[in-house]
């Protein structure tokens, strides 16, 4: 397994992921890691329908994803790991999965969330999760599409004080 991209995007598999990131990174397998979604047959079906032809979609719980990654179940695949938020990435790292960098797509604005960088909003508790990833030396950049500029989330967190 070659992890070609780890992305946080609260919409998971959608047009920007498919058109922009899958193609530009030669992704052959999208691994969605989300306990709630993995247990929802309708959501799993919808995500699989959004996956481009010729690309596999695996929608797994955190524990199943860790088990399969460690067992090299994706041997020979160019894998994109996709999660809805920073907690999942932190949990993967804490369970021994190496993640040196994270691309952040869209973490929407909601009540109680403040903007960290363009298109990335967080509650105070979520800021702590992003800071924990920063402490683990995970390079984090927000970027909607590959041809657009990156925003340095690590730097934004450090500037918060």
Per the CB < 8 A criterion, the answer to whether 141 and 152 are in contact is yes
pLDDT in tens, 9-38: 989 998 888 889 999 999 999 999 999 999
- The residues spanned by each domain of the chain are 2-159
Structure tokens at 69: 């990654």
pLDDT for 21 equals 94
SS3 90: helix
| Domain 2-159 in this protein, CATH class | alpha beta
Distances in Å between the alpha carbon of 148 and those of 21, 81, 107, 129, 143?
12, 20, 17, 25, 7
User: From its phi and psi, is residue 102 left (phi > 0), alpha (psi between -120 and 50) or beta?
Assistant: beta
Which residue ranges in the chain fall short of pLDDT 50?
none
Per the CB < 8 A criterion, the answer to whether 1 and 69 are in contact is yes
pLDDT for 119 equals 85
pLDDT for 161 equals 59
Structure tokens at 22: 């899958």
């Amino acid at each position: 397994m070659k992890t070609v991209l780890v992305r946080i995007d609260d919409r998971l598999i959608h047009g920007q992921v498919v058109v922009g990131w899958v193609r530009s990174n030669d992704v052959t397998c999208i691994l969605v890691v989300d306990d709630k979604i993995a247990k929802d047959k309708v959501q799993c079906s919808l995500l699989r329908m959004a996956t481009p032809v010729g690309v596999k979609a695996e929608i797994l719980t955190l524990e199943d994803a860790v088990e399969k990654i460690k067992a090299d179940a994706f041997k020979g695949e160019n894998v994109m790991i996709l999660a809805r938020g920073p907690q999942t990435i932190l949990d993967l790292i804490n369970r021994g999965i190496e993640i040196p960098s994270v691309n952040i797509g869209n973490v929407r604005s909601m009540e109680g969330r403040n903007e960290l960088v363009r298109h990335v909003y967080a509650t105070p508790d979520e800021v702590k999760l992003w800071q924990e990833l920063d402490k683990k030396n995970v390079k984090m950049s927000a970027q909607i599409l590959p041809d657009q500029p990156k925003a340095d989330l690590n730097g934004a967190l450090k500037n918060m004080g």
